[in-house]
Amino acid sequence: MIYVIWAIIFVLGIWIISTYNTLTALRLRVQNGWRQIDVQLKRRYDLIPNLVETVKGYMQHEQDTLQKVIEARSQAMAAKGVKETAEAQTALTQSVGKIFALMENYPDLKASKNVLDLQEELTTTENQIAFSRQYYNDLVTQYNTKQQVFPSNMLAGFFRFQPSEFFSVPDAEKAVPRVNLTLAR
């Protein structure tokens, strides 16, 4: 009889250890995922001044748009806190998108190899940011699920694992940006 009790305690101990380890590993992966997003954002910050310099010569009449992009970039780099950062990031994405839309009016600009390369670089950077955010959200889903399903939720509460926040786009930015495509002559 005593052996049965020891066996139960043993199995319970193994379960506790393995669940704790899984929760810890997931939490660390979530943190890593968040840092990965920062890496991609930094890449974009570095690429944007290149883009502005390259198109400045061609797009003489769009100086104010280009100026807005530089401002948006500085704002994004200076932003603190999740909400402010997210808003600044989205504003930056939109202003870069405006430049790409305006490039349609300048055929010799579009034919330039440098600009095409830069466009590809920025496109892939935007995609990489989006995918690392997506992956971060997938990780957060896994981590939060593990904390809330039945057997592990008791342990999660006991060891004080906190649910993580999803990365979400604040509602204001979901409005489609209106791009002014009129030629300034």
Partner 1 sequence: MLFFFIIGGAIDYLYFDAFSPAGPPLPLATIFSLGVATFTTLSAYYGGSGLILGSLGAEKPDGQIPEHRELRNIVTEMALASGSTMPQVYVIYDPAPNALATGTNEKNAAICVTTGLLTLLDREETQGVVAHEMSHIRNEDILLMTMVSVLIGGIAILADLGQRGFYSSRAGRRLGSKSPLLFLPLLLLIAFSPLIARLLAMAVSRQREYLADATAAQYTRNPIGLARALEKIRDAATPFHKATRGTAHLFFANPLRRRLENSDGNLANLLIRRSIGASSCSIGWRVFPLRSRN
Applying CB under 8 A, the residues found at the interface with partner 1 are: 33, 36, 40, 116-117, 120-121, 123-124, 127-128, 131-132, 134-135, 138-139
Question: For partner 1, which is the closer residue by CB, 40 or 65?
Answer: 40
Q: What distance lies between CA 86 and its chain's CA centroid?
A: 9
Other Cβ atoms less than 10 A from the Cβ of 122: the count is 21
Contact 173, 39 (CB under 8 A): no
Smallest gap from Cβ 128 to partner 1, in A, equals 5
Tokens standing for residue 148: 């809330």
Contact 98, 179 (CB under 8 A): yes
- Report the b/e string of 38-47 with b at 16+ CB within 10 A: eebbebbeeb
Smallest gap from Cβ 49 to partner 1, in A, equals 20
Smallest gap from Cβ 68 to partner 1, in A, equals 27
Tokens standing for residue 37: 């997003």
Q: What is the DSSP letter of 163?
A: P
Smallest gap from Cβ 19 to partner 1, in A, equals 22
